[in-house]
Structure 1
Amino acid sequence: MTTSRGIDVSAYQGPQDWAKHKRDGVAFAFVKASEGQHSRDSRYATHITGAKAAGLIVGSYHFAWPNQSAASEAENYIAAVRSHAGPGYVHWLDLERYSDGRNYKGRSASQIKAWVAAWIAAVERAFPGQRVGVYTSASDLASGHVPSGVPLWYPAYPGSAVDSYPEAEKRARPRPSGRAPEFWQFVGSPLDRSVCYMSAAELRTWAGGGTPTRPKYEPFPGASWFTMGRKSPIVAAMHDRLVAVGCNRYQSSKNKDVIGSGDKASYEAWQRECGYSGAAAKWPPGPTTWTKLQVPNV
């Protein structure tokens, strides 16, 4: 599966060697900017300036208090980031309940959802064409706190089994409440780390308001079709998608419109990525993995 790597920081983290992060393969960084109606993060300007200078894809987040004014909180955030935000900047609402519930106190699920929608709308008006999403937990999603269609950054920590980027990249994409987050924060110590389910190039396009280019969708032609070494644009589309999701077992790209051993090995790697094993992961493709390959969010 194609991914890119990132971190997020706040005043709790000291000065960062952003150039080293970039050399180590980090593609994006999100920085805390504000909280509530008045609070600002003391290291926001330092962190965001360094991340931008290193050439990372950047954005920032605001910690939400849904029992306060959505308009005032949006104004606080907008004022904090205005001098740094621009094309390709990503804005996040950090929607998390404090352990004692003080920032959710007195609010119903529907009221929190309406508050989230109002905050997002205000930030979208302030920064036309820039992405605005929500960082939130499985419990908030299950409670219906997040409007549909909003980009998601999802925190969930499997523990020592997944505490590195390679381990996270091997895992299936999380699907809390049936939704497919664009970002998964998989570890919170010693530094918050996330993977994005786009390549760095795709993420940069997405962050700039565009739609990442992907090979054309090809409907499943039936399992028997793949047993006949056909020459077809369908095979070329399959080849391109397998490369895009990182299941590339090709020795070369010659004759990529003809089914060959590289196609079979690559597709079997994709079926294992989808959770199949043994005979179930063997060639030929099945309709479920084919559609998931062609339309990654299904």
Structure 2
Amino acid sequence: MKKSVSTACATIAALALTVAVAPAHATTTDNQRERPTKAAQQAGIHQMGDAYAGWRSHTDAGRASAALTRTSPTLTATKTLGIDVSAYQGNVNWSSQWGAGVRWAYTKATEGTYYTNAYFAQQYNGSYNVGMIRGAYHFANPGYSSATSQADYFVSHGGGWSRDGKTLPGMLDIEYNPYGSTCYGYSKSGMVTWIKTWLNEYKRLTGRDAPIYTTTDWWSTCTGNSTAFNQTNPLWIARYASSPGTLPGGWPYYTMWQYTSSPIDKNLFNGDITRVRALAYG
């Protein structure tokens, strides 16, 4: 009996130690875990939840060289500088970013239905508190759970919206799969349906049409270059170069453009600050 009690105590102690040193990620059971691809690991994604907007462009597999990540487009008065952040950046010095001219920001809130960003409060509230117009985004994992459940999860964990003039509608980050096949095992029509279901659920819950973050290559490959969303959902295009290049899906223009990750993910809003506020107000 003493030996059993001792063994049980040792087991409990070991479990307590495991919990104490575990990183701040949402719990995922072992049979639900997916190993990140080699390219994802090179981009700093070591477990489910680590993904972030534009992760593929941080690697050679994403065809982004060091030269391209240093490329900056010409800044004009009709473009507004913004950044997007995730747990990858940790605590952000928002006063410094404001001083550098950043006027809007998006923070990763969730991924799939298994992860919430441990730095979300510091990032989401910090940007707001220095005067930026802020929004939250969801990294979609269509291969993990349903579109409806992921939209619900996002809204319940920071992805909501209010008409305060400083909160942008939540963004759907739909791009390369860091955990497996590029298109998450979906056919082109199946992927379009998944995206449409997510967007419809988000709008049902918030009243807003969510921006879509993607790349021209992924959108063409995985949706067949679908034109189903170009009249309703703002396009956030990712391309690390001096121009956004050919836009996917029949969108006549981009609303936001992620053009570099050096030294942080930088973006241009296709309009001055009054247009950013207009998107926030809805």
Q: With structure 1 as the length reference, what TM-score do the two structures score?
A: 0.61
The letter of the residue matching 1:194 is: N
1:155 matched to 2:269: no
Task: State the shift of 1:200 in Å.
Answer: 0.9
The corresponding residue for 1:50 is: 126
Deviations 1:251-282 (A, max 9, x none): xxxxxxxxxxxxxxxxxxxxxxxxxxxxxxxx
CA 1:154–1:192 in structure 2 vs 1: closer, same or farther (change >3 Å)? same
The 3 A distance-change label for structure 1 pair 99 and 43 is closer
Judged with a 3 Å threshold, the aligned counterparts in structure 2 of structure 1 residues 101 and 119 are, in CA distance, closer, same or farther, namely same
Residues 231-246 of structure 1 aligned to structure 2 (within 5 Å): none
1:95 aligns with 2:140: no
CA, structure 1 residues 131+54, in 2 after alignment: closer, same or farther (shift >3 Å)? farther
Deviations for 1:127-150, whole angstroms, at most 9, x for unmatched residues?
Answer: 12x451110011233233573222
Q: Distance in 2 between matches of 1:100 and 1:206?
A: 33
**Matching residue of 2:146:** 69
RMSD, aligned α-carbons: 2.0
Match runs of 1:196-275 below 5 Å? 196-209=269-282
Are the equivalent residues in 2 in contact too, given 1:132–1:151 (CA < 8 A)? Answer: yes
* Partner residue in 2 for 1:78: 155
Show the 5 A alignment for 1:176-195: 176-177=247-248, 178-179=250-251, 180-195=253-268
Per-residue deviation, residues 26-54 of structure 1 (Å, max 9, x unmatched): 11000000001221111112110101111
CA distance in 1, matches of 2:84, 2:184: 27
Q: What one-letter code is carried by the residue in structure 1 that aligns with 2:270?
A: Y
Report if the CA contact (8 A) 1:48-1:58 is conserved: yes
SS at match of 2:149: helix
> Which residue of structure 1 lines up, in the alignment, with residue 204 of structure 2?
125
Q: How far 1:95 moved relative to its partner?
A: 0.4
Find the aligned partners of 1:131 and 1:19 in 2 and give their Cα distance.
Answer: 30
After TM superposition, give the deviation of residue 102 of structure 1 in Å: 4.2
- Distance in 1 (CA, whole Å) between partners of 2:121 and 2:267 is 21
> Once the two structures are superposed, what CA deviation does each residue of 1:169-220 show, in whole Å capped at 9, x if it has no partner?
xx5x5441352210110002321000011101221112211xxxxxxxxxxx
Residue 140 of structure 1 aligns with an amino acid whose one-letter code is: W
Give, as a single letter, the amino acid of the residue that structure 1 aligns with 2:247: P
One-letter identity of the residue aligned with 1:107: Y
Which string of whole-angstrom CA distances, capped at 9 and with x for unpartnered residues, describes residues 36-89 of structure 1?
A: 12211111121101011111111111111122201111111011115x632232
Where does the alignment leave 5 or more consecutive residues of structure 1 unmatched? Answer: 163-170, 210-298
Structure 2: segments with no counterpart, 5+ residues: 1-75
Fraction of identical pairs, as percent: 29
Q: Which has the larger radius of gyration?
A: 1
Q: Corresponding residue for 1:255?
A: none
Q: Which residue of 1 aligns with 2:188?
A: 109
2:215 alignment counterpart: 137
- Aligned position for 1:11: 87
Q: TM-score, normalised by structure 2?
A: 0.64
Asked if the contact 2:168/2:280 (under 8 Å) is kept, the reply is yes
- Residue in structure 1 matched with residue 50 of structure 2 by the alignment: none
Q: Aligned-pair distance for 1:21?
A: 1.4
State the partner residue of 2:39.
Answer: none
Deviation of 1:104 after TM superposition, in Å, equals 3.2
- 1:81-132 deviations in Å (ceiling 9; x for gaps): 15x632232211100122563473321011111111111111111112x451
Query: Structure 2: how far apart are the matches of 1:38 and 1:75?
Result: 12
CA distance in 2, matches of 1:75, 1:146: 25
SS in 2 for 1:19: helix
- What's 1:33 paired with? 109
Task: Quote the Cα distance in structure 1 between the aligned partners of 2:181 and 2:135.
Answer: 27
1:4-42 deviation line (CA, Å, top 9, x unaligned): 000010001021121221222111000000001221111
Moved over 6 A (4+): none
Aligned-partner Cα distance in 2 for 1:85–1:197: 21
Report if aligned partners of 1:156, 1:184 keep a CA contact under 8 Å in 2. Answer: yes
